[in-house]
């Protein structure tokens, strides 16, 4: 089969893997946790495999339990990606940054800089954050309400986009004879006065190679989907089943159309957490081994943090205790909903639920041979549930190597994934248009 439409593959880069016990896995090189060369090798391998992009998540707090039991050390995403930009050429570089604990001017500069450093490969995963522990590192006691966070995120995006546009494309003159560096008529103050921000502008960095970095979003609540429909060019999402993924895909694409945008210009990438092996027996053994390495006390604390309710005294052998109505959850709404639905649908005890979440925090886990994994990706891709996938190996070593050496060639053989890059920027990889500049009159 030689499809015109190819799937997009992003590597969700995590230090040792997405299984919560991956760092304890015997082959995991934990001594490399803060070693740049380790990440350089992973990203260069992803580029050799022609993956579209790599992505770094971020959380700006650390609980004492994570210090003790979790693999908690990590780089600040835009810093690590700036270093990776100079040792790669084609692969996109997507960093997570929260709109709740930053200022637009700083973030606009930071992403424009990454876009220049990488010659047009920057992407921003826009998050609103969701925990009190993060708020407590930024002058607050508790996390602002969900609706307020999204309101701030909208204003944040509107002004950040204005700042990126504040230099018209041809503003730079560089005339040594006349001494004119830039045409001041083409560099604009934005003079924004809103509910959350007051910003004069212009930005102190010209319009970057992609015009704007690619905007990525990963919230799936009602507010999250509306936000994505208005701004996002790529969407990462956690979906447990094909049916849920298809419903989400249709819902978001319809919302995109309602916002007057082209649905092909918004790429939807559900997360996939594979354990890959030559035989079903081998992968089952690895799955069991990872479960043995889990620390349920720590898993329960992580689940409590995720849903924003203290579950640490709940019995592991009983069902998940009743949680407040989803409208009352002020943290990560959609993930909480997913967890409740998973526990109810499969009638899981709390221990079984923690095991299910251990492999990918609610993302879709697949355990099997390369063919089985390729079959599933093909099915979701060809049947309206995905434009591509966010690949989250459960254990980096060996699942990432196996994904690029065994699954990607299988997808290429089936005509579903590129064999060569056809451009140089993240927009080229994701087949996204360059945005117009709101200050330019044609
Ligand atoms: C693939 C993926 C990556 C995410 N990365 C982060 C992250 O790095 N930091 C974070 O606080 N939230 C992260 N999230 C969570 C969401 O961005 C969002 O905050 C969460 O889904 C709650 O938003 P909602 O209430 O609109 O659903 C991620 C979600 C997904 C699906």
Residue 289 burial (C-beta neighbours within 10 Å; 0-12, 13-18, 19+) = middle
DSSP designation for 187: B
**In this prediction, what percent of the chain has a pLDDT beyond 90?**
88
When pLDDT is cut at 50, 70 and 90, the band that residue 122 belongs to is very high
Question: CB under 8 Å to 362, separation ≥6 — which residues?
Answer: 238, 240, 335, 338, 339, 342
d(CA 429, CA 233): 12
Furthest-apart CA pair in the chain: how many Å? 79
**In this prediction, what percent of the chain has a pLDDT beyond 70?**
98
pLDDT reported for residue 308: 80
Nearest Cα residue to atom 31 of ligand 1: 237
pLDDT reported for residue 143: 95
Give me the mean pLDDT over the 246-263 stretch. 98
Angle at 376 between CA 251 and CA 415, to 5 degrees: 95
When pLDDT is cut at 50, 70 and 90, the band that residue 67 belongs to is confident
pLDDT reported for residue 328: 83
18 and 393 Cβ atoms separated by less than 8 Å: yes
Q: Is the CB of 133 under 6 A from ligand 1?
A: no
- Number of Cβ within 10 Å of residue 263's Cβ equals 17
d(CA 384, CA 379): 9
Nearest Cα residue to atom 1 of ligand 1: 236
d(CA 421, CA 406): 19
Nearest Cα residue to atom 21 of ligand 1: 219
d(CA 66, CA 21): 12
For residue 21, the CA-to-ligand 1 centroid distance in Å is: 21
pLDDT reported for residue 73: 75
For residue 125, the CA-to-ligand 1 centroid distance in Å is: 9
Nearest Cα residue to atom 29 of ligand 1: 218
160 and 192 Cβ atoms separated by less than 8 Å: no
How does pLDDT run across 145-185, given as a tens digit for each residue?
999 999 999 999 999 999 999 999 999 999 999 999 999 99
pLDDT reported for residue 95: 98
338 and 224 Cβ atoms separated by less than 8 Å: no
Q: What average pLDDT does the structure give for the chain? A: 94
Q: Look at residue 357 and give its three-state secondary structure.
A: helix
Classify residue 337 as left (phi > 0), alpha (psi -120 to 50) or beta: alpha
d(CA 394, CA 19): 5
Give me the mean pLDDT over the 15-29 stretch. 94
d(CA 250, CA 263): 10
* ω into 202 cis (within 30 of 0): yes
For residue 98, the CA-to-ligand 1 centroid distance in Å is: 10
Statement: residue 60 has pLDDT above 60: yes
Choose one of 78, 81, 130 to mutate for the ligand 1 pocket test, by most ligand atoms within 8 angstroms of C-beta: 130
pLDDT reported for residue 332: 78
When pLDDT is cut at 50, 70 and 90, the band that residue 306 belongs to is confident
For residue 219, the CA-to-ligand 1 centroid distance in Å is: 5
When pLDDT is cut at 50, 70 and 90, the band that residue 326 belongs to is confident
Choose one of 58, 94, 219 to mutate for the ligand 1 pocket test, by most ligand atoms within 8 angstroms of C-beta: 219
For residue 14, the CA-to-ligand 1 centroid distance in Å is: 15
The model carries a pTM of 0.95
Give me the mean pLDDT over the 250-265 stretch. 98
Higher pLDDT, 322 or 42: 42
Structural domains for the chain? 8-274+365-430 (3.20.20.30)
Statement: residue 389 has pLDDT above 90: yes
Q: Is the CB of 66 under 6 A from ligand 1?
A: no
Q: Is the CB of 10 under 6 A from ligand 1?
A: no
Q: Which atom of ligand 1 is nearest to the CA of 96?
A: 8
In 3D, which of 304, 376, 301 has the Cα closest to residue 339?
304
CA distances from 421 to 4, 8, 63, 410 (A): 14, 12, 41, 17
Q: Is the CB of 362 under 6 A from ligand 1?
A: no
């Amino acid at each position: 089969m030689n499809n015109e439409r190819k799937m997009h593959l992003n590597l969700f880069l995590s230090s040792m893997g997405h299984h919560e016990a991956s760092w304890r896995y015997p082959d995991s090189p934990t001594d490399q946790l803060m070693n740049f060369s380790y990440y350089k090798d992973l990203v260069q391998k992803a580029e050799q495999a022609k993956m579209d992009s790599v992505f770094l998540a971020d959380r700006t707090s650390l609980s004492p339990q994570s210090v003790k039991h979790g693999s908690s050390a990590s780089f600040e995403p835009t810093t690590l990606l700036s270093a990776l930009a100079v040792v790669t050429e084609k692969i996109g570089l997507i960093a997570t940054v929260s709109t709740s604990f930053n200022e637009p001017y700083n973030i606009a500069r930071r992403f424009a800089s990454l876009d220049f450093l990488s010659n047009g490969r920057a992407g921003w995963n826009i998050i609103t954050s969701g925990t009190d522990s993060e708020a407590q590192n930024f002058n607050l006691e508790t996390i602002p309400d969900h609706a307020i966070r999204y309101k701030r995120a909208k204003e944040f995006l509107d002004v950040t986009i204005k700042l990126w546009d504040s230099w018209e494309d041809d503003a730079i003159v560089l005339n040594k004879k006349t001494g004119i560096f830039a045409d001041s008529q083409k560099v604009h103050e934005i003079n924004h006065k809103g509910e959350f921000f007051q910003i004069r502008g212009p930005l102190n960095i010209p319009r970057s190679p992609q015009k704007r970095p690619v905007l990525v979003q990963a919230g799936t609540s009602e507010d999250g989907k509306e936000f994505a429909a208005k701004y996002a060019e790529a969407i990462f999402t956690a979906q447990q089943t094909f049916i849920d993924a298809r419903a989400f895909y249709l819902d978001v694409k319809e919302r995109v159309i309602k916002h007057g945008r082209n649905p092909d210009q918004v790429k939807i990438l559900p997360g996939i957490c594979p354990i890959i092996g030559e035989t079903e027996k081998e992968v089952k053994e690895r799955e069991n081994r990872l479960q043995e390495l889990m620390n349920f006390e720590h898993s329960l604390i992580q689940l409590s943090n995720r849903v924003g309710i203290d579950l640490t005294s709940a019995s592991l052998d009983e069902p998940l205790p009743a949680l407040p109505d989803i409208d009352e959850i002020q943290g990560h709404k959609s993930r909480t909903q997913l967890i409740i639905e998973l526990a109810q649908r499969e009638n899981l005890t709390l221990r079984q639920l923690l095991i299910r979440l251990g492999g990918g925090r609610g993302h879709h886990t697949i355990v099997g041979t390369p063919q089985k994994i390729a079959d599933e990706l093909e099915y979701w891709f060809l049947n309206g549930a995905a434009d591509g996938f966010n690949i989250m190996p459960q254990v980096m070593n060996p699942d990432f190597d196996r994904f690029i050496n065994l699954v990607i060639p299988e997808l290429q053989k089936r005509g579903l994934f590129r064999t060569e890059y056809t451009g140089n920027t993240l927009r080229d990889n994701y087949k996204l248009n360059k945005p117009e500049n709101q200050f330019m009159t044609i």
